[in-house]
Amino acid sequence: MNWKFTDDRPIYSQIVELIQKGILSGAYPLGSSMPSVRVLALEASVNPNTMQKALSELESQKLLYTQRTSGRTVTTDEGLIMELKEKIASEYIERYFEGMQSLGIERGAAAGMLASKTGSTGAPSSTPGSTSVNANVNAEKKTTVEISTDSSEVN
Instruction: Tell whether pTM > 0.75.
Output: no
pLDDT (tens digit per residue) in 55-78: 999 999 999 999 888 899 999 999
User: Which of these ranges, 22-31, 56-65, 139-148, has the smallest mean pLDDT?
Assistant: 139-148
Average confidence (pLDDT) over 80-104: 94
Helix (H, G, I), strand (E, B) or coil at 45: coil
Distances (CA, A) of 121 to 34, 109, 115: 39, 16, 8
Angle at 70 (CA atoms; ends 79, 21), nearest 5 degrees: 40
The Cα 36–Cα 55 span in angstroms is 10
pLDDT (tens digit per residue) in 95-137: 999 999 999 999 999 989 888 887 765 544 444 444 555 555 5
Distances (CA, A) of 106 to 91, 96, 126: 18, 11, 32
Amino acid identity for residue 75 in this structure: T
Residue 155, pLDDT score? 41
Do the Cβ atoms of 122 and 73 come closer than 8 Å? Answer: no
